[in-house]
Amino acid sequence: AQKITQTQPGMFVQEKEAVTLDCTYDTSDQSYGLFWYKQPSSGEMIFLIYQGSYDEQNATEGRYSLNFQKARKSANLVISASQLGDSAMYFCAMRELDFNKFYFGSGTKLNVKP
Amino acid sequence: DTGVSQDPRHKITKRGQNVTFRCDPISEHNRLYWYRQTLGQGPEFLTYFQNEAQLEKSRLLSDRFSAERPKGSFSTLEIQRTEQGDSAMYLCASRSGTGKSGNTIYFGEGSWLTVV
């Protein structure tokens, strides 16, 4: 079974609007971390935001927030006030904290329209 | 710049040749990862080091692939007898393993390999 599922291969959003990128995960562990990374066309993977499974509040980092719904096993990324520079691939990832490996989804390509 | 650095950034090689990639992690990070990424896919785990010990290897890492981290600092990933299917971006990442930020891996800019 896939550990991380991203069902949106591509998304469009109008500049200055908010957008939600979906991510669901599969684990039977109680202790895990969820991550989002941005990958521009240049290729580098840029860390955006982290959510621990025991964190009671949703993580926020500037214009990024993570909508964590533990019972539904979802960890959606919300980008507020989209900018043209947000156009990139976005990857959701998970690590079960007793282990070392990070699992990545297949990504969502976000295009921000002017 | 104190981020993860990788060298070379781009490599074009003929099928059958050997290639080696180098990764210098963030200096205080003792955990180091190699991932492979092909076009349109997410990164796939290859191997993991804690200090100089290689603790985990993926089945993707065939006998032609070898990774080392001899002094627990920089790491090398060598591919012998390259095949066209090895064409991909090879990503290195590191994490400290301590504190909340220690749960996060930070990536280098990747090394693009094209096998012709």
Query: Mind listing the pLDDT tens digit of every residue in chain B (116 residues)?
Result: 579 999 999 999 999 999 999 999 999 899 999 999 999 899 999 999 999 999 999 988 889 999 999 988 999 999 999 999 999 999 999 998 887 677 899 999 999 999 99
Test the B interface: residue of A21, A42, A45, A109 with most B CBs within 10 Å: A45
Test the A interface: residue of B103, B106, B109, B113 with most A CBs within 10 Å: B103
pLDDT tens digit sequence for A57-104: 999 999 999 999 999 999 999 999 999 999 999 999 999 988 889 999
Using CA atoms, how far apart are residues A37 and A107, in angstroms rounded to an integer? 9
Contact B45 A47 (CB under 8 A): no
Nearest by CB to B104, from A44, A47, A104: name it.
A47
Using CA atoms, how far apart are residues A20 and A27, in angstroms rounded to an integer? 22
Outline where DSSP puts E strands in A27-107: 32-39, 46-52, 60-61, 64-69, 74-79, 88-96, 103-104
pLDDT tens digit sequence for B52-84: 999 999 988 889 999 999 988 999 999 999 999
Nearest by CB to A43, from B31, B48, B110: name it.
B110
Q: Which residues of B touch A97 (CB under 8 A)?
A: 103
pLDDT of residue B52: 94
